Structure 1
Amino acid sequence: MTARSMRARAAGYSCALIALAMPGTGFAQTLDTTALEEVVVSASRTGLKPREIGSSFSVIDAEDLQANQVTVLRDLLQDLPGIQISNNRPGGFSNLSIRGSDNDQVLVLIDGIELGDPSSTSTQFQMDHLTALDVSRIEVLRGNQSSLYGSDAIGGVINIVTRRATEDGLTLNGEMEGGSFGTFNGGASLYGKTGPLDVRLSVTGHRNDGPSLAAPTAGPSVEPDAYSRYGFSGRIGYQITDNLEIVATGFLSRTDSDLDGTGTDVSSNDNVEKDEDAAAIQVNHKAFDGRWRNSLLASYYQAERLYFGRSTRPEGDQYLGKKRNLNYTSAFDATEWLSVVVGGNLEEESTDQITSFSGDFIEKVDTKSVFGEVALKPLENLTLTGAFRYDDNSQFGGFDTYRGTVAYVLPAALAGGDLKLRASYGTGAKAPGLYQLYDPTYGNPNLTVEESQGWDAGFDLNWADPQINLTVNYFESHVEDEIEFILNGYRMGGESKSKGVEFGATAQITPWLSVSQSYTYLSSRKLPANTWKGRPRHSGATSVTIYPLEDLSITARARFKSENLSSGVNRPVDGFVTVDLLVSYRVNDQLELYGRVVNLFDKDYMLNWGNSTYGLSGFVGVRASLNVL
């Protein structure tokens, strides 16, 4: 099939999906922006409710994760409007893009802990090993968010919140699944609460034996490539008084991945071992009936990668990165129509690199920040916000960012549905990584900050009966002074512009039928030559679920992408459509059986050139919950 015919097919499929969705289909976690009353933590430091938020965001909850049988969080994120991933294998090195951004322009948080590896090329975080067990909620905030979160948030923010025990007693939850390629995945969590004390302790594990990472159609594929992971996580919280609490959270992860070169696979001992550790202590205080809220958070994240192979040191090439943060935020609701937030942040990033690849170095950089935000509600159903931030970096000095949003709700505007009109504009900044600055072979200490501007506008439409939610966004972003790798080193001067449309919908058509739809059109260009940046222009997902019995659900899910050129080797990857089938049966309140068939029609496809994906494969699992006390 030619590239032209593939693009035509993808475009036709896109139109068909939109036509299917227009009566009111969609993905539940992508919208529900006015029906929900729970505060969206990531969208504003002032604590706005969904109907008051002028930015584009999505929310995924624990029920969504279980319904989609998610083991790795990255896999479900790709079904949200505006998000694309470059790898869907367990442990596979994946870039996550929001609205055409690079992976290092997306900030990831877990319980307030900023995740980012200072020993990586540009302090980016890889979501390859984040599991879904114990995740209560995921908030995805699109567009420039540097005024709220500093560097690394040009593309957006992914905020992950873990579960906590909310009722007195002791509960044991567990899940286990197995399937194709020798896959075993499992985990268990112990939740407990007594009075003001709540605790959680979790353990997870994963193992699969292949197949090869190298795609057979791109080169020889002669050996399977295994991946293994185990990890622990926990939380302990204590409500000291009605107005004061202290919370400690953390996790550790240990992974081992076989490695192959792009487009080829040779029998070798090349592999990487990665250790990740994170911890945080947070103190929350409120006064004046909750109108004044203060939070102090100290967090730590460390990642160590050891590469073993024919060209590394015998003890492995080591990349060790550490990130420490101290953040204070104070929010005050002055009146019913005015809220003000002020805060500050201290951050230290350090790396220790010992390699035969490009040399050794030890470096660190620190950033001091102050920020503020104002939320105004001058009229009923109208919310305006403005935010400003100043960062002072020890390497290259200070830079500022700002952001403004507007949201206006028209109750019962269209056939009884609430219509929210919204828009946002913001600037962003991305600091260079320590590797880009100081690597003995490729580094450039003269690098400075990447800068961006972006805006979006759209609407959210929600009906309560029948439950239908629809969201549409138009967006543009412009990044200047991008850091590029040219020949044998990094330099400034890159420029790119992205624009596009995001569409999402969800509908509970009848008690036994629900449908969801997401679609993204993206134009991402390199300037001034105006050449294609390589991101897929069309992508999306369709899901149809039926409930033939009260406790039985059957879901058919289709995912598609058009042609892309984003693998970095200047070789195009054809567009594709894949179909999955998911079945779940709840035996009782304590036991659920489930299974899924991935790539039902055994489609031969690649997300980026040279890397394989799963063909036809199957998995079965069980979830159980037991009240111990």
Structure 2
Amino acid sequence: MLWNKTNMKPIILYGAAIGAVLCVPGVAAAQSPNLVEAGAQDDDTIVVTANRTQRRLSDVGESVSIIGEKAIIERQPTEVLDLLRTVPGLTFNSNGGIGTSTSVSIRGANSDQTVVLIDGVKLNDPASPGGGFNFGSLLTGNIARVEVVRGSQSVLYGSQAIGGVINLLTREPTEDLAAFARAEYGERDTAQLVGNVSQRFGPVAVSAGGNYLRTDGISAFSRARGGIEPDGFESWGANGKVDVYLTDTISLDLRGFYADGETEVDGFPAPDFALADTDEISERTDFVGYGGLNASLMDGRFRNRIGFAYTNIDRQNIDRSGNSDVETFDANGENRRFEYQGVFEAADHAELVFGAETETSEFRSSSYGGPAATAEVGIDSIYGQVNLTPLAGLSLTGGVRYDHHETFGGNTVFAVSGAYTPNAGSTTIRGSFGEGFKAPALYQLYSEYGNEALQPEQSDSWDVGVTQRLVGGLAEVGVTYFRRDAENQIAFVSCFQNSDPICTDRPNGTYGNIARTNADGVEVGLALRPAAGFDLSANYSFIDTQDEATGNVLARQPKHKVSLLADYRLPSGIAFGGTVVQVGDSFDNASNSRALDGYVTVDLRASVPVAKGVELYGRAENLFDAEYETVFRYGAAPQTFLGGVRLVI
């Protein structure tokens, strides 16, 4: 394994500590934890993403995890990935340090089977190989809340939502002046500035912010295999929300998000064409915009929203090793969506959610200055869902969606879910079932690796779980079982020395459909508040994936993941905490011939108040300097120390 032998003892001790916590008799948890700010929520916590309208968590049948603003501040994350890696059922793969290509998978689904939203607007890149989203350069910045819904959400979110949905919410406009700022500095000349202000001015409420980060970085080529050249990263971004109240019942909703980053990357230079340190950079610009009109009718019982959403992600790679710069890759993905959504409270116990969307996606892609592949496709959709509370403690939902894809024609998906508590929330039983649909990405169809014979991916997924509160709500345990069966899952096919007919005229590879795949597993967790100010949560995920044609485990899908979070704040305001994440072994390729060793990382953090609303803070990331790879030959950040100051008013 790639761990440093001198670090094995503390790593084993931390792993044993996690195991001891999880072996408490009767411990189980699915959407862990549900204690307020212990990594979870109480019954009155409002969740938006699961049903595309505000509902209490106790009324939601889907598996949901929420990371709130307080928890985000306490954990001191730089990247969104720092938050997602502790969510049950989520795993990630990265081609090096911050800024490099990084994918996130939910319950063993392909990373491009996840819909990623920023303030409710789709972030997925139509020009990426699978139409998914690259998390590598996405910073926490002014993100104040994360909602993750696991399991198929195609009824409400359409194509791609086979694995689930990740919704990242920036700071909201406030009535009174509110400000958030932080500045930090650490190893490898890493510096970051973040700021956001919000206030209401008469009928206009505004929240606006920006962030900047630069670092010398690490070698994307694993240090354990000889990588020594640091690959730096620099990024700046902005976020904004404006609410304009035209009347008491009509308002304008404007949102924007922008990020501009440059990452030094490693490549495959001649004559060996093997991964090595190179002088190449990757530039990326993300822009997301939304404009909508909201109208609340019938004394608020009928809420309407009509809007336009726009996403554009532009990427370019440049090789600077020669006498002049050479463009090695260029791509642009654009998504335009007009949408209407209505929410109608038909009765005290019945709510209808319905809508229509028309979406157009475009992509452009070229390599080494060659001719660009371009394509455009449209998809029109209608959907409807009913949310019922027929009895006290019982909530039910059922929905259907029809998509008409310009290339693949019509498709209908169905979903149901329910939540039941017989004892006012002490015990909650949840379950959901959903069908999924994902059309092949434009890149998979029309790029130099494209295959126009590809068929859409389809899936059925379901889960069932129970949570139990104990000790007057100071502890919560639970368990969820899930399963997903998929047909025609799309995967890259290497054509090196491959005589398969699919490789005809495709020497560099292409894309093909895998007949059937499946994934099932268990998400287990525990949340405790043993003393005032002390929050402890632990999660264990078991994810068993399989290509049914070969019997092999799906590539880069570890079976086991454990995370432990502990935070303690003294009455004086001094706080300290830690995060431990243990990920099991996996395989880097579909043939299961190349193994990736599991790993353990330990992070510690502390903060000290120095004035009202002002704190000094610091953290140690990867405290025991674990060396590991989530993608073959690509490394991860070593032991890192950072510190800073933050302001919250």
TM-score normalised by structure 1 residue count: 0.92
* Paired AA for residue 236 in structure 1: V
Equivalent residue in structure 2 for 1:45, among 49, 52, 58:
52
For residues 15 and 266 of structure 1, do their structure 2 counterparts lie closer, same or farther at Cα, with a shift above 3 Å needed?
Answer: closer
Question: 1:368 matched to which residue of 2?
Answer: 380
CA distance in 2 between counterparts of 1:286 and 1:450 reads 38
1:291 aligns with 2:301: yes
Asked if 1 retains the 8 angstrom alpha-carbon contact of 2:218 and 2:232, the reply is: yes
After superposition, the C-alpha distances for 1:258-295 in whole angstroms (9 at most, x for unaligned) are 11148966453211101111100122221222211111
Residue number in structure 2 paired with 1:497: 518
Amino acid at match of 1:19: C
- In the TM superposition, what is the alpha-carbon distance from 1:341 to its structure 2 partner? 2.0
Kindly indicate whether the alpha-carbon contact (under 8 Å) linking 1:145 and 1:153 is maintained by their aligned counterparts in 2: yes
Gaps of 5+ in 1: none
Q: Aligned letter for 2:256?
A: G
Q: Alpha carbons of 1:402 and 1:178: their partners in 2 closer, same or farther (altered >3 Å)?
A: same
Letter in 1 for 2:161: A
Q: Quick check: 1:24–1:470 contact (8 Å CA) kept in 2?
A: yes
Compute the displacement of 1:463 (Å): 4.9
Provide the rounded CA distance (Å) in 2 between the counterparts of 1:267 and 1:92.
Answer: 14
Partner of 1:597: 620
Question: 1:392 aligns to what?
Answer: 404
2:587 aligned partner: 565
Residue of structure 2 equivalent to 1:90:
98
On the 8 A contact 2:265/2:280 being kept in 1, the answer is yes
1:18 maps to what in 2?
22
Q: Which amino acid aligns with 2:646?
A: R
Worse overlay, 58-67 or 232-241: 232-241
- Give the structure 1 partner of residue 140 of structure 2: 132
Matched residue count: 617
1:269 is paired with a residue of what secondary structure? Answer: strand
Give the C-alpha shift of residue 512 in structure 1: 4.6
In structure 2, C-alpha distance between the alignment counterparts of 1:622 and 1:167, rounded to whole Å: 26
Distance verdict in 2 for CA 1:572–1:359, change over 3 Å: farther
Residue 233 (structure 2) aligned to one of 201, 204, 227: 227
Give the drift of 1:216: 2.1
Give the CA deviation at 1:492: 2.2
Match of 1:455 among 445, 454, 462: 462
1:162 Cα offset (Å):
1.6
Match for residue 186 of structure 2 among 179, 184, 196 = 179
Q: Give the match's secondary structure for 2:58.
A: helix
- Contact 2:37–2:68 (8 Å) recurs in 1: no
Tell me the distance in 1 between the aligned counterparts of 2:305 and 2:521.
37
Out of 160, 163, 168, the position equivalent to 1:160 is 168
- 1:64–1:340 distance in 2 versus 1, CA, 3 Å: same
Question: Is the contact between residue 264 and residue 610 of structure 1 (CA under 8 Å) also seen in structure 2?
Answer: no
Cross-structure match for 1:550? 572
Say if 1:33 and 1:297 are closer, same or farther in 2 by CA, change over 3 A: farther
Counterparts of 1:216-615 in structure 2, within 5 Å, are: 216-217=223-224, 219-261=225-267, 266-309=276-319, 314-315=326-327, 317-356=329-368, 359-411=371-423, 418-439=426-447, 441-463=448-470, 465-486=472-493, 487=495, 488-534=509-555, 535-566=557-588, 570-615=593-638
CA contact (8 A) 1:255 1:273 kept: yes
> In the alignment, is the contact (CA less than 8 A) between 1:30 and 1:504 conserved in 2?
no
- In structure 2, relative to structure 1, the CA distance for the partners of 1:12 and 1:222 (3 Å cut) is closer
Contact kept, 8 Å, 2:561 with 2:582, in 1: the verdict is yes
Q: Contact 2:174/2:206 (CA < 8 Å) preserved in 1?
A: no
CA, structure 1 residues 113+197, in 2 after alignment: closer, same or farther (shift >3 Å)?
same
CA distance in 1, matches of 2:369, 2:416: 45
Q: 1:81 aligns with which of 81, 88, 101?
A: 88
SS in 2 for 1:507: strand
Change (3 A) 1:267 1:95: closer
Change (3 A) 1:128 1:267: closer
1:13-51 deviation digits (Å, cap 9, x = unpaired): 764341269679965579887724243111113543111
Supply the AA of the counterpart residue of 2:164.
G
Please list every run of 5 or more consecutive structure 2 residues that lacks an aligned counterpart in the other structure: 496-508
Identity %: 29
Query: For the residues of structure 1 that align with 2:325 and 2:290, how far apart are their CA atoms?
Result: 34
Residue identity opposite 2:175 in structure 1: E
**Alpha-carbon separation, structure 1, partners of 2:357 and 2:27:** 47
Instruction: Measure the CA separation in 2 of the matches of 1:30 and 1:145.
Output: 26
Letter in 1 for 2:22: I
CA contact (8 A) 2:251 2:293 kept: yes
Query: For 2:42 and 2:75, how far apart are their aligned partners in 1?
Result: 22
**1:336-381 CA deviation, whole Å, 9 max, x = no partner?**
1221222101100001223338742221000000001012222111
What TM-score comes out, normalization by structure 2 length? 0.89
